Chain A
Amino acid sequence: MKLTKIQLKRIIKEEMEQVMREIEQETVATEYDEEAAEAELQAKLAEPMHK
């Protein structure tokens, strides 16, 4: 079966999008680190409250 140039472009585009989605998913997902969250909270609370 011979694919046309347009078909090839579509397949590559779909594959690329799939890979990008997977990369995005991996980078967005993070394990909850309670110690880091506690430190962040304490640091934020230490700041004075004015704009």
Chain B
Amino acid sequence: MELDKKALAVTRLVAAIYEWDPRGSTVSQDKGRRKVAVDRLVKDTLSDESTKQNVINMVLAMTLLTSGHVASVRNPEVFSERRAPRWVNILSPQSEQFLDILRFPSYVLVTKQDYANAKQLLPFIGASSMLESEVRAVFSKTGLPEKFPGLSQSLDKYSEKRGIGGYGHLYRGLSAMSDGAIIRVTDLSKPWDVTRGVSTSRNYASAEGFSQKDGPNHVLISFDNPHKRGFNALKLSKFGSEEEVILSGVTKIQNYQLTFYAEEVEEDENAKDYTIQVTPYSIFVRRGLRAFYGEDNISSTSAHEFIKIALSGKPFQLTGQNGATVTIRSKPETSTLKAQGVIQ
């Protein structure tokens, strides 16, 4: 499938317009100006029906991933037509307006075919990358720079935040993970396939908050995104405050910092709790508040082997800097993991 670059440029511009502050005197005046801007953009850029349909399909696919039925996005066959919502129920107000301008009837029911279309399209829009200059070229051919100079200034001044050329860094939080999943994330030898398209955020704090949403074992992943891949959902998503970007590609984790807790197996009144910190190059263990064990310049394979043993829940021995050997066991699901990876 070849991605329609013009359609992608239009969606990036629309996402930027819905974040633009037109400085009107009332909220409704601002909304009105944004609507006029989107309307003008559509009229000036989407004259042919196929590009228009491609834009509609992109917005619908993004909507199903961000506010549709999660299992049906992965497997459209599980979608129940009897419980189908209307599009209007899962669209953001901005997407509803945009689709209305595109003449899409958002009162119709979501279908299994819509999920099948989304499953097919998400890998492509999530992996899409487009130069800022290409998007600007589309913008400059419309009447928008003349009609709304404030919008042009907004794109210039906040070009990085608006992301019309994509985002160089994206973030993903994961909560309530098992210890096994923590072990998997810290395996640097194996990349992950996230080519189906996943929800990330341009906002670190938003992803961090999500990672701590519930349950133990918090994971926060920072993706370096050198090709600035992704589909800017932002306010087109029903959850606009999360500043979502749909991303797809193969990820390689390059670095991490893992912290978890352990306790001595032998119960004695002087038994201490242990704090264990592991990176791909080091292991550091604190007994109570004091440094107990440290190892630097180890290989990422050794670090991962240590994590596998430590998080298995089985007792293991450590000989501290003071020569004392202790048998300790990790406390289940007490991990906090910050990982950094690159989207290839």
Using a CB–CB cutoff of 8 Å, the interface residues on chain A facing chain B are 21, 25, 28-34, 36-38, 40-42, 44-51
16 further contact pairs, Cβ within 8 A, besides A32-B312, A46-B70? A29-B314, A30-B179, A32-B180, A38-B184, A40-B178, A40-B184, A41-B174, A41-B184, A44-B177, A45-B194, A47-B199, A48-B70, A49-B172, A50-B239, A50-B244, A51-B213
What are 28 A-B contacts with C-beta separation under 8 Å? Answer: A21-B267, A25-B329, A30-B179, A30-B312, A31-B312, A32-B180, A37-B180, A40-B177, A40-B178, A40-B180, A40-B181, A41-B174, A41-B192, A42-B192, A42-B193, A44-B174, A45-B198, A46-B198, A47-B70, A48-B65, A48-B67, A48-B70, A49-B206, A50-B66, A50-B210, A50-B239, A50-B242, A51-B209
Contact B74 A46 (CB under 8 A): yes
Using a CB–CB cutoff of 8 Å, the interface residues on chain B facing chain A are 65-67, 70, 73-74, 172-174, 177-181, 183-185, 187, 192-194, 196, 198-201, 206-207, 209-210, 213, 239, 242, 244, 265, 267, 308, 311-315, 329, 332
Kindly state the separation between the CA atoms of A36 and B65 in the bound complex, as whole angstroms: 23
Contact B173 A49 (CB under 8 A): yes
Contact A48 B239 (CB under 8 A): yes
Contact A34 B213 (CB under 8 A): no
Contacts of B239 in A (CB 8 A): 48, 50
Q: Which 6 A-B pairs have the closest CB atoms?
A: A50-B239, A37-B184, A37-B180, A29-B313, A28-B313, A49-B199
Contacts of B193 in A (CB 8 A): 42
Contact B315 A25 (CB under 8 A): yes
Contacts of B192 in A (CB 8 A): 38, 41-42, 45
Secondary structure at chain B's binding surface: helix, strand, loop or mixed?
Answer: mixed
Contacts of B187 in A (CB 8 A): 34
Kindly state the separation between the CA atoms of A37 and B332 in the bound complex, as whole angstroms: 15
Contacts of B315 in A (CB 8 A): 25
Kindly state the separation between the CA atoms of A33 and B198 in the bound complex, as whole angstroms: 24
Kindly state the separation between the CA atoms of A34 and B179 in the bound complex, as whole angstroms: 11
Contact B181 A37 (CB under 8 A): yes
Contacts of A45 in B (CB 8 A): 172, 174, 192, 194, 198
Contacts of A38 in B (CB 8 A): 184, 192
Kindly state the separation between the CA atoms of A25 and B314 in the bound complex, as whole angstroms: 7
Contacting A49 at CB < 8 Å: which of B74, B180, B181, B210?
B210
Contacts of B314 in A (CB 8 A): 25, 29
Kindly state the separation between the CA atoms of A33 and B73 in the bound complex, as whole angstroms: 26
Contact B312 A29 (CB under 8 A): yes
A49 touching B207 in the complex, CB below 8 Å, given contacts A28-B313, A29-B314? yes
Kindly state the separation between the CA atoms of A40 and B173 in the bound complex, as whole angstroms: 14
Contact A46 B73 (CB under 8 A): yes
Within the complex, what minimum Cβ distance (angstroms) separates B252 from chain A? 14
A48 touching B66 in the complex, CB below 8 Å, given contacts A32-B183, A40-B181? yes
